[in-house]
């Protein structure tokens, strides 16, 4: 295992009814920017539950944060937050609303020009000021509730860029599994696949003498395989909902990445598919992930074979045979959850995609992705073409 320094400052309040703890965790006298999405929280009662706890505060609402939150929308929240002098952000929603809150939190005090520059120039992590954030998570998937990462899209340039900052870890996140019951099947499947892919990004590299990390990662994947179909079938099953929620958080709160190599090329390529065609984040991972493993097979086959045995119980065959079977099992799992795995199943205009992505990465000088930079631009092209 490699050396590491790890700190995760987010307090988790897990369980049914934890929304009632809201006011114990927000500073008294705070002026709160209450940020949410397109209105699901009004239909399922989460808005009312949260508002009932916030009577003593000055609350400024900002709604309409879309899936794959847009810079253009968020700058309106930044203007509002500055005008109203908000000093706390409560994000109530899925990864998009939580990510949006992180951008707003850094952008409000940013005085060096256009906040988008922080993403382009990768300076978000060096900022010294951010408004504190608390969250009520309504969609288990991204891990945004317990990490310092965010992904923001810009409509005008069709870009989707990520950033990270230690200042935007939520101070607290409320994980009440009953919120899962109102999620549509597509979002549930997306959540399972996003979390599963997060584990793969931090696991499917090469053996690194880190059995504790491997066991954590394999445990999360086995749990998602076990409960994924159940939760899609019955999102009101509170036991599965709780395990689903915590699996998603554990998949991307930084823990399983410590001391081991990580990949993340599937995500980098996937973000381009969302930026170009509006395909849901998790669907892009289902399209790219298995093909990345096919193209990078010789570099990843040991770990693929370990995954085959320990996650999919494939015990027969050579390393190569087990590794190949594990990729097929992964694709079958995504199909079982109702998610398609070919780009052409999502957009008719796919034929130039590999060249477009290759160009975009070259312009940004992203020429060596993945663990040890093994996913070169040629490999990116091959992976995307194989995904058609």
Strands (E), the chain: 11-14, 31-36, 58-62, 88-93, 133-137, 149-154, 159-164, 172-175, 368-369, 375-376
CB atoms within 10 A of CB 229: 17
Nearer Cβ to ligand NZQ, position 93 or 289? Answer: 93
Please report how close the Cβ of residue 40 comes to ligand NZQ at its closest, in angstroms: 3
Any contact of residue 194 with Zn ion (CB under 5 A)?
Answer: yes
Residue indicated by tokens 């996003």:
194
Cα–Cα distance measured from residue 15 to residue 36, given in angstroms and rounded to the nearest whole number: 21
Cα–Cα distance measured from residue 77 to residue 34, given in angstroms and rounded to the nearest whole number: 10
Cα–Cα distance measured from residue 384 to residue 127, given in angstroms and rounded to the nearest whole number: 35
Query: Which residues, 6 or more positions from 378, have their beta carbon under 8 angstroms from its beta carbon?
Result: none
Please report how close the Cβ of residue 142 comes to Zn ion at its closest, in angstroms: 6
Tokens of 220: 């999360």
Nearer Cβ to ligand NZQ, position 68 or 223? Answer: 68
Cα–Cα distance measured from residue 180 to residue 172, given in angstroms and rounded to the nearest whole number: 19
**Residue whose CB is nearest to Zn ion in the complex, by number:** 194
Q: Which partner from the list Zn ion, ligand NZQ, none does 115 bind, CB cut-off 5 to 8 Å by kind?
A: none
Please report how close the Cβ of residue 301 comes to ligand NZQ at its closest, in angstroms: 25
Q: Assess contact for 208 and 260: CB atoms under 8 A.
A: yes
Cα–Cα distance measured from residue 83 to residue 74, given in angstroms and rounded to the nearest whole number: 14
Q: Which partner from the list ligand NZQ, Zn ion, none does 44 bind, CB cut-off 5 to 8 Å by kind?
A: ligand NZQ
Please report how close the Cβ of residue 199 comes to ligand NZQ at its closest, in angstroms: 12
Residue indicated by tokens 């929620």:
245
Nearer Cβ to ligand NZQ, position 324 or 341? Answer: 341
Nearer Cβ to ligand NZQ, position 95 or 261? Answer: 95
Please report how close the Cβ of residue 253 comes to ligand NZQ at its closest, in angstroms: 9
Q: Residue 91: is it exposed, middle or buried by C-beta count within 10 angstroms (0-12/13-18/19+)?
A: buried
| Interacting residue ranges for ligand NZQ, rule: CB under 6 A | 37-41, 44, 67-68, 93-97, 99, 138-139, 141-144, 147, 149-151, 179, 182-183, 187, 190, 194, 252, 267, 281
Q: Which partner from the list Zn ion, ligand NZQ, none does 245 bind, CB cut-off 5 to 8 Å by kind?
A: none
Q: Which partner from the list Zn ion, ligand NZQ, none does 379 bind, CB cut-off 5 to 8 Å by kind?
A: none
Nearer Cβ to ligand NZQ, position 143 or 261? Answer: 143
Of the candidate spans 100-108, 186-194, 289-297, 378-386, the one that interacts with Zn ion by CB under 5 A turns out to be: 186-194
- Beta-strand relationship, 31-36 and 88-93: parallel
Of the candidate spans 85-93, 193-201, 233-241, 332-340, the one that interacts with Zn ion by CB under 5 A turns out to be: 193-201
Q: Which partner from the list Zn ion, ligand NZQ, none does 183 bind, CB cut-off 5 to 8 Å by kind?
A: ligand NZQ
- Contacts with Zn ion by CB under 5 A lie at 194
């Amino acid at each position: 295992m490699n050396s590491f320094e790890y700190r995760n400052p987010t307090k988790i309040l897990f369980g049914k009814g934890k929304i009632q703890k809201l006011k114990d965790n927000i500073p008294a006298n705070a002026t709160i920017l209450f940020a949410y999405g397109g209105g699901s929280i009004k239909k399922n009662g989460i808005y009312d539950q949260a508002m009932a706890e916030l009577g003593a505060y000055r609350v400024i609402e900002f709604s309409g944060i879309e899936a794959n939150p847009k810079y253009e929308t968020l700058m309106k929240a930044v203007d509002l937050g500055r005008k109203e002098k908000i000093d706390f952000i409560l994000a109530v929603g899925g990864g998009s609303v939580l990510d949006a809150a992180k951008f707003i939190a850094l952008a409000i005090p940013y005085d060096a020009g256009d906040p988008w520059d922080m993403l382009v120039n990768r300076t978000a992590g060096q900022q010294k000021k951010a408004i504190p954030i608390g969250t009520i998570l309504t969609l288990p998937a991204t891990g945004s509730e317990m990490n310092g990462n965010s992904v923001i899209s810009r409509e005008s340039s069709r870009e989707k860029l990520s950033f990270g900052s230690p200042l935007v870890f939520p101070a607290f996140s409320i994980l009440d599994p009953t919120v899962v019951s109102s999620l549509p099947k597509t979002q549930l499947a997306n959540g399972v696949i996003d979390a599963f892919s997060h584990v793969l990004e931090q696991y499917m590299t090469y053996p690194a003498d880190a059995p504790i990390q491997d066991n954590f990662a394999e445990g999360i994947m086995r749990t998602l395989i076990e409960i994924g179909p159940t939760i899609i079938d019955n999102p009101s099953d509170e036991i599965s909902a709780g395990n689903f929620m915590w699996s998603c958080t554990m998949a991307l709160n930084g823990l399983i990445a410590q001391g081991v190599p990580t990949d993340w090329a599937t995500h980098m390529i996937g973000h381009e598919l969302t930026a170009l065609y509006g395909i849901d984040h998790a669907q892009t991972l289902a399209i790219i992930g298995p093909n990345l493993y096919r193209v990078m097979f010789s570099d990843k086959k040991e770990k693929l074979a370990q995954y085959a045995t320990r996650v999919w119980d494939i015990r027969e065959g050579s390393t190569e045979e087990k590794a190949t079977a594990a990729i097929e099992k992964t694709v079958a799992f995504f199909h079982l959850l109702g998610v398609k795995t070919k780009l052409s199943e999502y957009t008719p205009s796919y034929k130039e995609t590999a060249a477009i992505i290759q160009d975009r990465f070259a312009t940004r000088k992203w020429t060596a992705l993945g663990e040890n930079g093994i996913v070169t631009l040629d490999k990116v092209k091959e992976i995307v073409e194989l995904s058609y």
